[in-house]
Amino acid sequence: MTAAARHPSAHNPYEIDLDRNAANHVPLTPLSFIRRTAAVYPERIAVIHGALRRTWAQTYERCVRLASALARRGVGPGDTVAVMAPNIPEAFEAHFGVPMAGAVLNALNIRLDAEALAFILDHGEARVLLTDREFSGVIHRAVRMLAPERRPLVVDIDDPLAAGGERIGALTYEALLAEGDPAYDWAMPADEWQAIALNYTSGTTGNPKGVVYHHRGAYLNALGNVATWALPHHPVYLWTLPMFHCNGWCFPWTVAVMAGTNVCLRQIAAGPIYDAMADHGVTHLCGAPIIMGLICNAPADKRREVPRGIRMMTAGAAPPAAVIETMERMGFAITHVYGLTEVYGPVTVCAWHEDWDAQPPEERARLKARQGVSYPTLEGLAVMDPVTMTEVPADGRTMGEVFMRGNTVMKGYLKNPRATAEAFSGGWFHTGDLGVMHPDGYIELKDRSKDIIISGGENISTIEVEGVLYRHPAVLEAAVVARPDEKWGETPCAFVTLRDGMTATPEEIIGWCRDHLAHFKCPRTVVFTSLPKTSTGKIQKFVLRDQARAL
Amino acid sequence: MTAAARHPSAHNPYEIDLDRNAANHVPLTPLSFIRRTAAVYPERIAVIHGALRRTWAQTYERCVRLASALARRGVGPGDTVAVMAPNIPEAFEAHFGVPMAGAVLNALNIRLDAEALAFILDHGEARVLLTDREFSGVIHRAVRMLAPERRPLVVDIDDPLAAGGERIGALTYEALLAEGDPAYDWAMPADEWQAIALNYTSGTTGNPKGVVYHHRGAYLNALGNVATWALPHHPVYLWTLPMFHCNGWCFPWTVAVMAGTNVCLRQIAAGPIYDAMADHGVTHLCGAPIIMGLICNAPADKRREVPRGIRMMTAGAAPPAAVIETMERMGFAITHVYGLTEVYGPVTVCAWHEDWDAQPPEERARLKARQGVSYPTLEGLAVMDPVTMTEVPADGRTMGEVFMRGNTVMKGYLKNPRATAEAFSGGWFHTGDLGVMHPDGYIELKDRSKDIIISGGENISTIEVEGVLYRHPAVLEAAVVARPDEKWGETPCAFVTLRDGMTATPEEIIGWCRDHLAHFKCPRTVVFTSLPKTSTGKIQKFVLRDQARAL
């Protein structure tokens, strides 16, 4: 008797009388994490900021008050609350208090100019704007650019540690909290697909796009961080990574679930970083390679003795192998991750293999500079030909575009169905990043689609060339872009910042590259200069491309 | 301008053009975990069984072959595949291979008799039964009890380490795998609410109920174990807890996500446990207090030097404080959890506070014997009056029933809508366990509803009395039940097993209790005997109640 004969397909007892109900189905949301941690560890320190300490119970109460006050002012599902602040307690609280009101948090990049901020506030339809005094000037200008009926309620975060800046708002954050009921019965999201956050890309061309996160993805990437980093209980987490950057890679929610301590950091500079690590027993931090640069290159008078074994996640650009080497020699344990605003921050990790420990330092750094494999909470990661949508061979050489799918991929771009459809075309998220798949299944980025150099028909990865430049002892920073060339179409042009007190000639730099790279990949031109950067610290290659064209 | 005026409630840009699609929504399933780990760590050891070692790549291939072979034989969604096996590699593989075919895994309790097995096979409609040779006798009898058209395809697991037992099936497990395609393109579940496992309760009265788990809950409890235990990468996990018990508390999936090593254990006895810990560098294990008893009370010739700091999760009954003390003195780090078959295993944990370390050992053990707080992945935990469904005061004294809600609560009972509705009445899962809520928000079980003794109108927790009995130096095991009493209604009756070579009189035992308990709680009767146990090692109180009645 065959299976089909015995079990007509209509017979599936597992689908009968076994429905969702209030007891067995609750929307996934990271708000659950703070509720639990405040209940279980009410007296543990949640937040350190200067001399200020607040427990999880106190922090939770402030989040609930914020939610209550927002709700009393009519803010609810579908409404946006923006926050303009460095990594201070109020920014952390907004990650819980705003969604507890059912609203959507829009964390603004504090390095943006008034025009960009005005665009975002207008496009995101912020109803309330929590703003730190340090940014009163630019925020005041930005709000004045909005049509009067589209201006948000401005609330000043009056942090005593903020240098300068007037109060510009209708009330202070503390006054807003005072309006709130600490016993407010905040609501879980009605659906885990409900939006929790709005993050604008720092697009270098055109208007920024508003990336929408949902509660489900925030919950899952928060747990993905736990599993990927094998986080201990009660990590002491230093806020070197901006909370406005992919919601701090979801770490406000990760620190909450592990009942850790948030060490706030208003000023991202070598002195405060070393002080925080030494004074508070920091165990974990995240940041772009620029943070590693701050730590590695700190002047002697800013350095402090710090515990060995601090764990750091880095991403944002392939970290130069030389920087990884230096950090590891200093005793930091570096985990290299990769992601984008559209995927809640990191979703791939260069998962380490113990037998790689036996490799020489340079090989270890080369292995670690790869972007690696998917987080356990990402479902699909592929390098494909973007036209045929077929995977490139896993040969470590054939370039393709990196694609992702899973529950930590955004809902889409706000009010931009065309960009959303393009980003998801073919059922995968198109990262726009170019890379290769190695035989061991690890991806390695080679470039942004728009950054690749094509010289004599050959693709040149600017990241590869930059990696070699960074290994030169005199080079502090380097960026490579295409320079138009009659014969070759394009040739690599290197912009280099030398270390203080160091010298090098263009010929030396080119010679160094020829020793380490195929000749066609080597810069034809070397310009010594300081590098233009975006508000998030990314090098502005479009500026350099203009300069290279004009040479 | 008020909020309502500005934003008519119909306007919610976050719900427009931001729908689920293949790129941003994938059903949650623990099958993702093994796919990833096999890809990232193909050469790491997944399974140790006697002299056998299999890597994650090999194990994954066997799971895929199993799925393919099942599918070729017509097994798919809505079908049940049963497995009767101790903690051997094939049981682990079934946790992935069966759901990869879309089917539902029914792990059978290997200690059941033929009648109970026949009931389960019939009720669960098992299409295929994978059965270890050790259990050929009882399985043969069970299958013969089924109507011929309801008999499953019997597949022998022919483990060389199995003692005795004939092959009774149509083919062997290895032959079945050989039918499978290692490149089979297994399907993710169409919906995360799809069933993944069926586990029958070991009900002491009436027929067992079939608890249905879904992929979403299995995924979440697997990650809940990671966050709750702060698991490291690559744990070496000893299988002292049966995989047929709530799917090993979801640890097959937890070990997969953390790329750990499964140390299999055919025989749960002191010698093999000590050998495994010493030989394989075990880092983690789980088990009922009976396992702690095996470890603590092992004869000298079975003991081996084991690394200090092995982490053990225990649950299943409140572990006697004295046993916890002994284990911790031996260097084990004990985490006390609590759950039920209906909630995927553990969902509460006695989350530790560092300042409790300073307490004297007895107080530490008392704190740790509490069932504690919810897992981060459980959403609601409450002690309520089951009639009014209002919470009891958090005074550590007022008893109520323990209720739970969240995503790791079962779909319901298979083909038993009435029991399902009762279990979920009022939007909470009714555990049937009685407990108190302490002022710090930690729950402590006092008894099963049906075990409580009511003497002169006072509730007596049998667990509390047993805890005192276990602290008596001569007591190996103890159980307390109600004995009918004309004057008091009921009085406590203690059944006690003494340690080898130790003696005590009933008067001494009662005197010991009077030194540590309110007098009305002390046993009026003490019977020295060995204790009847269920197939999962739980003491059969209904047998003892019958004996107490007959005294």
| Whole-number average pLDDT of chain A | 92
Write out pLDDT tens, residues A393-403: 999 999 999 99
Strand partners, B200: B210
Helix (H) or strand (E) segment spanning residue A214: strand A210-214
Which runs of E-coded beta strand occur in A104-201? 104-107, 126-132, 153-157, 171-172, 195-200
Does the pLDDT at position B518 exceed 70? yes
Write out pLDDT tens, residues A37-50: 999 999 999 999 99
Does the pLDDT at position A474 exceed 80? yes
Q: pLDDT band at residue B206, thresholds of 50, 70 and 90?
A: low
d(C-alpha B291, C-alpha B304), whole Å: 16
Which pLDDT value is given to residue B334?
Answer: 93
Chain B residues closer than 8 Å to A257 by CB: 227, 376
Residue type, A305: E
Contact (Cβ atoms closer than 8 angstroms) between residue A196 and residue A215: yes
Three-state SS annotation for A18-80: CCCCCCCCCCCCCHHHHHHHHHHCCCCEEEEECCEEEEHHHHHHHHHHHHHHHHHCCCCCCCE
Q: pLDDT band at residue A488, thresholds of 50, 70 and 90?
A: confident
Average pLDDT over residues A357-382: 92
Which pLDDT value is given to residue A5?
Answer: 40
Which pLDDT value is given to residue B448?
Answer: 75
Instruction: Please report, rounded to a whole number, the percentage of residues in chain A having pLDDT higher than 70.
Output: 96
Which pLDDT value is given to residue A11?
Answer: 82
Which residue, chain included where needed, has tokens 């299944």? A441
Write out pLDDT tens, residues B228-283: 999 999 999 999 999 999 999 999 999 999 999 999 999 999 999 999 999 999 99
Write out pLDDT tens, residues A178-213: 999 999 999 899 999 999 999 998 654 567 899 999
Chain B residues closer than 8 Å to A125 by CB: 7, 13
Q: Which of A411-420, A455-464, B277-286 has the lowest mean pLDDT?
A: A455-464
Is residue B43 classed exposed, middle or buried when 0-12, 13-18 and 19+ CB atoms within 10 A define those classes?
Answer: exposed
| Angle B26-B30-B36 from CA coordinates, rounded to 5° | 85
Contact (Cβ atoms closer than 8 angstroms) between residue A270 and residue A240: no
CB contact under 8 A, A232 and B233: no
Helix (H) or strand (E) segment spanning residue B449: none
Does the pLDDT at position B365 exceed 50? yes
Q: Nearest CB to B33: which of A73, A376, A410?
A: A376
Cα radius of gyration rounded to whole Å, chain A: 24
Q: Which of A35-39, B152-156, B530-534 has the lowest mean pLDDT?
A: B530-534
Does the pLDDT at position B498 exceed 90? yes
CB contact under 8 A, B231 and A230: yes
| Whole-number average pLDDT of chain B | 92
CB contact under 8 A, B412 and A18: yes
d(C-alpha A505, C-alpha A525), whole Å: 11
CA distance A405 to chain B (A): 4
Most confident of A108-117, A253-262, B293-302, B324-333: A253-262
Residue type, B452: I
Q: Which CA distances in Å does B250 have to A230, A266, B100, B215, B246?
A: 18, 42, 16, 11, 7
Q: Which CA distances in Å does A180 have to A81, A171, B208?
A: 16, 14, 50
Does the pLDDT at position A327 exceed 80? yes
- Which domains are present in chain A? 55-215 (3.40.50.12780), 451-550 (3.30.300.30)
Q: pLDDT band at residue A9, thresholds of 50, 70 and 90?
A: low
What is the DSSP track for A220-249? HHHHHHHHHHTPPSS-EEE--S-TTSHHHH
Which pLDDT value is given to residue B452?
Answer: 80
Q: Number of A:B CB contacts under 8 A?
A: 207
CB contact under 8 A, A380 and B441: no
Contact (Cβ atoms closer than 8 angstroms) between residue B114 and residue B142: yes
Does the pLDDT at position A6 exceed 60? no
Which pLDDT value is given to residue B7?
Answer: 47
Cα radius of gyration rounded to whole Å, chain B: 24
Is residue B196 classed exposed, middle or buried when 0-12, 13-18 and 19+ CB atoms within 10 A define those classes?
Answer: buried
Whole-complex ipTM: 0.88
d(C-alpha B322, C-alpha B368), whole Å: 11
Chain A residues closer than 8 Å to B340 by CB: none
Does the pLDDT at position B341 exceed 60? yes
Contact (Cβ atoms closer than 8 angstroms) between residue B412 and residue B405: no
Q: Which of A360-364, B195-199, B333-337, B475-479 has the lowest mean pLDDT?
A: A360-364
Nearest partner of B191 among B217, B215, B213, B221, judged by Cα:
B215
d(C-alpha A63, C-alpha A94), whole Å: 7
CA distance A41 to chain B (A): 8
Which pLDDT value is given to residue A541?
Answer: 87
Q: pLDDT band at residue B5, thresholds of 50, 70 and 90?
A: very low
Which pLDDT value is given to residue A1?
Answer: 32
Q: Nearest CB to A379: which of B26, B410, B411?
A: B26
d(C-alpha B297, C-alpha A401), whole Å: 60
Write out pLDDT tens, residues A529-550: 999 987 767 788 888 999 999 9
Chain A residues closer than 8 Å to B33 by CB: 376
Q: pLDDT band at residue B524, thresholds of 50, 70 and 90?
A: very high
Does the pLDDT at position B317 exceed 70? no
Does the pLDDT at position A62 exceed 90? yes
* Whole-prediction pTM: 0.89
Average pLDDT over residues B508-513: 94
Chain A residues closer than 8 Å to B26 by CB: 379-380, 405-407
CB contact under 8 A, B15 and A427: no
DSSP strand pairing (A345-349 vs A333-340): antiparallel
Which pLDDT value is given to residue B315?
Answer: 86
d(C-alpha A488, C-alpha A502), whole Å: 33
Write out pLDDT tens, residues B399-439: 999 999 999 999 999 999 999 999 999 999 999 999 999 99
- Helix H segments across B330-360? none
Best of A14, A81, A283 to disrupt the B interface by mutation (most B CBs within 10 Å)? A14
CB contact under 8 A, A415 and B195: no
What is the DSSP track for A261-324? EEE-BSS-SHHHHHHHHHHHT--EEEE-HHHHHHHHT--GGG-----TT-EEEE-SSPPPHHHH
Write out pLDDT tens, residues A141-177: 999 999 999 999 999 999 999 988 899 999 999 999 9
Does the pLDDT at position B447 exceed 90? no
